[in-house]
Amino acid sequence: MQDHARAGGTTGRKPGPPGHGDADAASGTERSGIERELRRRIEADGFPGGRLPPERVLAEELGVGRRALREALSVLEGEGRIWRRQGLGTFAGAPPAPVEPQMPRADALGRLASPVAVMEARLAVEPVAARLAAMRATQPQLDQLARAAGRTFGARSAQDYEDLDSHFHRTIAEVAGNVLLLSMLDLLSRVRREARWGQMRAASFSPGRLERLGAEHTAILEAITDRDPARAEAEMRRHLRAVAVRLVGMDPLPLLLPPEGGEG
């Protein structure tokens, strides 16, 4: 009997229901028929709300296997007649345009972001900018940066210093030559114009602190001028950590580091 079954080319099994075994394999003719029927229904608005039934239900309605149905659906998706979304289902027509997330305005971010969050962001952006500046600065740019650093020593008020300080840091980002880093720094600078930052700067401003800040700027400038990327990055990080301690009373850097023993 076994030899007879092999000779006859059959396993002796009865065809299974749609969606199972060899009966689910799609021939070109079968798939084309499914495609035509689906196109007809789509054009006739035959799916309530534009949503197609689940594959199992639709296969039973059409009397076809699920594999054949899936292949036909893939063809229609390629034609732009349907779209599918995991967890939502299959829909007739073109997919909806993606909704771009809206970035909060800088003034709103200034109210939402804590001073610690701002310093964390600066620590993530500005040391990298200083490293790149040390690698890419031209001599005219170094001269411009030296002038910007020197002007901070002449600040007469907290607001005056803030303007000169922002110019120095922005010049570094410009010299870094990365438009995305520069854009992020500009956003952070706008956030820092929020009222509470002005109050914090005024409370921490003094001639003695002005000298210390100027010395920190000079250390950053010298590292960039010496074209020492690692030192420029380290000096910028040291400066920002000191600023954070003066303004918010804490060093945010440990929050940005992986736990001891590795990142995993």
**Mind listing the pLDDT tens digit for each residue in 57-89?**
999 999 999 999 999 999 998 888 899 888 788
Q: pLDDT-based confidence at 110, cuts 50/70/90? A: low
Which of 36, 61, 92 is the last residue in one of the domains? 92
Kindly tell me if the per-residue pLDDT of 263 is higher than 60: no
Where does a domain end: 92, 119, 143? 92
Longest dimension (CA), the chain: 105
Predicted pLDDT of residue 7: 40
Span 158-168, average pLDDT? 87
State the pLDDT confidence band at 264, using cuts at 50, 70 and 90: very low
Q: Are 39 and 161 members of one domain?
A: no
At 37 the pLDDT is: 92
Q: Which of 14-28, 100-114, 181-195, 211-225 has the highest average model confidence (pLDDT)? A: 211-225
Residue 17, phi-psi category: left (phi > 0), alpha (psi -120 to 50), beta (remainder): beta
| Statement to judge: residues 59 and 177 lie in one domain | no
What's residue 28's pLDDT?
Answer: 72
Are 200 and 115 contacting, i.e. CB atoms less than 8 angstroms apart? yes
Q: Which of 227, 215, 252 is nearest to 237 (CA)?
A: 252
**207 in the same domain as 114:** yes
**Domain membership flag for residue 97:** no
Domain count, the chain: 2
Tell me the CATH number at 77.
1.10.10.10
Separation of alpha carbons 263 and 180, rounded Å: 27
Residue 23 lies in a domain: no
Residue 20 resides in a domain: no
Residues 80 and 116 in one domain: no
- In angstroms, rounded to a whole number, what is the distance separating the alpha carbons of residues 150 and 200? 23
State residue 173's pLDDT score: 96
Q: What is the Cα–Cα distance from 130 to 191, expressed in whole angstroms? A: 21
Regarding whether 148 and 115 lie in a shared domain, the answer is yes
The sign of the CA dihedral 185, 187, 193, 198 is: negative
Can you tell me whether residue 85 is helix, strand or coil? strand
DSSP single-letter state for residue 12: S
Same domain, 80 and 199: no
Domain CATH number, residue 223: 1.20.120.530
Percent of the chain with pLDDT over 70: 78
Query: Looking at residues 169-184, what average pLDDT do you find?
Result: 95
With tokens 């740019």, the residue in question is 141
220 found inside a domain: yes
Beta bridge partners of 85: 89
Residue 22 within any structural domain of the chain? no
Q: What does DSSP say about strands 82-85 and 89-92: parallel, antiparallel, or unpaired? A: antiparallel
pLDDT at position 117 is: 86
Residue 169 and residue 42 share a domain? no
Indicate if 166 and 189 belong to the same structural domain.
Answer: yes
Q: What pLDDT, on the 0 to 100 scale, is given for residue 115?
A: 83
Which of 65, 92, 119 is the endpoint of a domain? 92
Report the distance separating Cα 227 and Cα 2, nearest Å: 83
Q: In terms of domains, do 133 and 217 share one?
A: yes
Which of 51-55, 192-196, 210-214 is predicted least confidently? 192-196
CA triple 250-188-117, angle to 5 deg = 30
Does 136 lie in the same domain as 47?
Answer: no
Domain, as residue range, for 56: 28-92
In the chain, beta strands by DSSP E? 82-85, 89-92
Q: Say if residue 139 is in the same domain as residue 77.
A: no
Mean pLDDT of 222-247: 94
Q: Is the same domain home to 182 and 131?
A: yes
Residue 17, domain member (yes or no) = no
Q: Which amino acid is at 34?
A: I
How much is the mean pLDDT over the chain?
Answer: 81
Of 1-5, 147-151, 242-246, which range is least confident?
Answer: 1-5
pTM (predicted TM-score)? 0.57
Does residue 54 form part of some domain?
A: yes
On whether residue 3 sits in a domain, the answer given is no
d(CA 11, CA 178): 68
